[in-house]
Structure 1
Amino acid sequence: MKTLAQIYESFRFAWRALKSNVLRTILSLLGVTVGIFAIIAVLTIVDSLEKNIKDSLNFLGTGVIYVEKWPFIADADGEYRWWDFWNRPNASYNEFKFLQANLKHESSMAIFAIKGNVVLKYGNNSISQIRLLGGSEGYDAVQDINIDKGRYFTPEEIGSGRNVVILGNEVAAALFVNGKEPIGELIKIKDLKYTVIGVLRKEGQSFLGTPSKDYMAFVPYQSFRRLYQTGTGLPQEITSRIGLKGYESDVGLVELENEARGILRTRRGLKPDEKDNFAMNRPEAIASVIGQLFDIVGIAGWIIGGFSILVGGFGIANIMFVSVKERTSIIGLQKSLGAKNYFILFQFLFEAIFLSLIGGLAGLFLVFLITFIPMGTLVVTLTIKNIALGLGVSSAIGLISGIIPAALAARLDPVLAIRAN
């Protein structure tokens, strides 16, 4: 109870000091407000950008290794040697079957290929510039395929390469107008008839405009190969990719990557001193590069906001020195009535932290207002982590700024303090 009474008493002193010198307090707290606003605004924008970009890369999947011809990112020296990659063979169906027979550290795997600018027709309706994907068994485990209507391919349909198709949401809406049910209907792809067995859930547009499944169609891989030529060499052939899904226990997919690399090098007859003629890509590599770039932006925000907070800290310290001087006689009276040094110290420290928190809350409120500004597909969110960080920095600034004035107040001689004017 005594501690609560002391906290309440300290709060009353702080509030009284704030009300008695409103203009001086506001001007002094502007530095903290601007500083917290600058830091948290930058961190909020950076976190939101990073989240939106990573969400845009969800079409690549998570916990997946892609075996293909072209690497996602440049080498360690920052150079992208496209002239070397150009001559690499594409991943083949035979290599997929070889990996399927020999791999032990994968939870699932699939081979798939994509053809752009495909035209789909239904009666008098048609839609162009559609991305057609042919996927083998296991593709629905490597990638998230969210069915809204109908079903996914059966193992028999995938194995025999039947002419069945799953449509993206916007594709189905364009071909089947006036609410017509697409399931069971026949559409044409390159003049071949395909039965619609499913429609995907609507995804919407991503922040980066990355490929959306809304404008895609999916067929079994063997059926895709009857439509388009896939292979390992010719430029006109469609590039196939092999997706390997790891287990959660394989942190960083290290075991899966090492095993797959060894098996594929053996399959391609590479000597120990020869470099890989294939890429093993992970979406996490792109996310890591993006994270490093945003870390630099975050540091810049701390530097910019740090100068403002430094000014705000000096402002709060100035308020506290003035407050100690104005209340010297009151401090002497309190000590003569039995107030301990720690109570006086806590009283002024609490006041400094309280004032700094007001400035921090004002800065956080300004950041919160930013989240309501329309920014296209960018969704800005003020997270609990950044709110806690803003309040923590504000409290630390108040503590640092108030420690010296509070210590001076606590050490005042009660007799001399009461006599002070």
Structure 2
Amino acid sequence: MGESIRFALQVLTTNLLRTTLSLLGVTIGIMLIISVFTMVDSLEKNIKDSFNFLGSNVVTVNKFSFVNADPNIPWYVYFRRPNNTYAEYEYLNSNLRNASHVTVFANRSTTVKFRSSSMSQIDIMGVGEAYENVYALNIELGRYFSLREIESGRNVALIGHEVAQTLFQNIDPIGKEIKVMGQKLVVVGVLEKEGKSLLGTPSSDERVYIPFKMFTKMYYVGRQGTNPTIAVKGTEDDIGLVNLQNEMEGMLRKIRGLKPKDEANFELNRPEAIADAISGVFDIVGYAGWIIGGFSILVGGFGIMNIMFVSVQERTKIIGIQKSLGAKNYFILFQFLFESIFLCLIGGAIGVFIVYLLTFIPFGALEVQLTLKNILLGVVVSSIIGVASGIIPSAKAARLDPVDAMRAA
């Protein structure tokens, strides 16, 4: 087998022009398939990352369903559903057994000021005690709110990276006062930079977090006011959060006075539902990538097969000589088969390398990455095409009669 490989490599290096032309079809085909899958995977990852603000292993109580809303329920029914209340949050926080953390939050957009500097359209988030545990806030400077600050609703704030850069510039923001809705808030912490997401979903960079009870002093929160969201983080041993969701549904129906036959006037949502819906869409795009690249690979495969037939024809006398000197059929077969596989692997490697170079091109907020999975996909597809394109010419060469082969013109 080693000698067959050596013969195959020698032929490839001897006929460089033919080798180069043979590579084009496979290179283009592999490049198309890998580039499509790389873009699809990168786009899917970036979109899913855009929903990281929804948390993981979390169930939220909302009026609306994130996905798969019941088509039999008119849209206005969802609007008529009651807002969540702080009392419901306290009840769940005290009674849930399948939860690791429970929090409540609400938000409004307004202007934030520090001395003569100001930022408009800043998201003000009123958050409960365990918000940092449910949504994993990364604090760069300072600290999170203390339990006493949360319970008493003190005028303290945790600000995003962009807010800190714009309002304070080169000044240390810790301990300084910002003004929101006429209220003075003392900055106790600054969050790490998060950056912009592909879909422009909310980022902590342009947010100001304050205790929830402080938020209620500034904005009306209740049945007809700002609708707070209750978020519950499950436990690791509750697979699929089935136990948590069942427990939450029972408690919410009880506290809202719903009878067993009454329709629920709330939705229990999980971020994973959005991720699953996104994956379904990108699976379809992936199939389209196979179709687009498949035609190019098919053309490239036939091109290599024709080249291999030509190669067999040119080397018929050499095959006859090799057989007359005792070369076995498998030696001849592997010689041409390895030549075909090497052609496809080299073409595939060039295609993958071109895709790798494309990842350095900036695509705005889209971060493109060539994964090991797609590299291996390129190698596997190239190998399969090499075997499929070379097996028939190789078998033809292996079956040649040595006497007839040596007589060939």
State the TM-score bracket (shorter-chain normalisation): over 0.9
The question of 1:225 aligning with 2:216 is answered: yes
**Structure 1 unaligned spans of 5+:** 1-5
| Matched residue, 1:111 | 104
| Cα distance change on mapping 1:377 and 1:282 into 2, 3 Å | same
Q: TM-score, normalised by structure 2?
A: 0.95
Secondary structure at the residue paired with 1:104?
coil
Q: Which moved more, 1:9-18 or 1:35-44?
A: 9-18
The question of 1:265 aligning with 2:259 is answered: no
Match of 1:163 among 150, 155, 158: 155
Q: Deviations over 1:258-287 (max 9, x none)?
A: 221122112212222322211111111111
Q: Deviations over 1:189-209 (max 9, x none)?
A: 222222211111111222111
Letter paired with 1:46: V
Contact residue 149 and residue 199 of structure 1 kept, 8 A: yes
**Cα distance in structure 1, aligned partners of 2:10 and 2:168:** 70
Match of 1:131 among 120, 123, 129: 123
Q: CA deviation at 1:158?
A: 0.9
Q: CA deviation at 1:60?
A: 1.2
Match of 2:339 among 351, 356, 362: 351
The question of 1:75 aligning with 2:69 is answered: yes
Q: Which moved more, 1:319-328 or 1:148-157?
A: 319-328
**Cα distance in structure 1, aligned partners of 2:158 and 2:290:** 49
Match of 2:207 among 216, 223, 233: 216
The question of 1:66 aligning with 2:35 is answered: no
Match of 1:154 among 142, 146, 150: 146
Match of 2:181 among 183, 186, 190: 190
**Cα distance in structure 1, aligned partners of 2:145 and 2:181:** 21
| Matched residue, 2:11 | 17
Letter paired with 1:227: M
**Cα distance in structure 2, aligned partners of 1:323 and 1:263:** 76
Q: CA deviation at 1:353?
A: 0.4
Contact residue 29 and residue 315 of structure 1 kept, 8 A: no
**Cα distance in structure 2, aligned partners of 1:127 and 1:363:** 48
Q: Deviations over 1:319-346 (max 9, x none)?
A: 1122122222222222232322222222
Secondary structure at the residue paired with 1:51?
helix
Counterparts of residues 217-296 of structure 1 (less than 5 Å): 217-232=208-223, 234=224, 237-296=225-284
Q: Deviations over 1:329-386 (max 9, x none)?
A: 2222222323222222222111110011122122212212221222111111111111
Secondary structure at the residue paired with 1:86?
helix
Q: CA deviation at 1:58?
A: 1.1
Q: TM-score, normalised by structure 1?
A: 0.92
**Structure 2 unaligned spans of 5+:** none
| Cα distance change on mapping 1:81 and 1:369 into 2, 3 Å | farther
**Cα distance in structure 2, aligned partners of 1:247 and 1:312:** 52
Match of 2:324 among 336, 349, 362: 336
| Matched residue, 1:26 | 20
**Cα distance in structure 1, aligned partners of 2:189 and 2:272:** 30
The question of 1:36 aligning with 2:24 is answered: no
Secondary structure at the residue paired with 1:120?
strand
Q: CA deviation at 1:20?
A: 4.2
Q: CA deviation at 1:113?
A: 0.6
| Cα distance change on mapping 1:220 and 1:251 into 2, 3 Å | same
| Cα distance change on mapping 1:207 and 1:80 into 2, 3 Å | farther
**Cα distance in structure 2, aligned partners of 1:330 and 1:80:** 78
**Cα distance in structure 1, aligned partners of 2:259 and 2:161:** 47
Q: CA deviation at 1:395?
A: 0.5
Contact residue 108 and residue 246 of structure 1 kept, 8 A: yes
Counterparts of residues 301-320 of structure 1 (less than 5 Å): 301-320=289-308
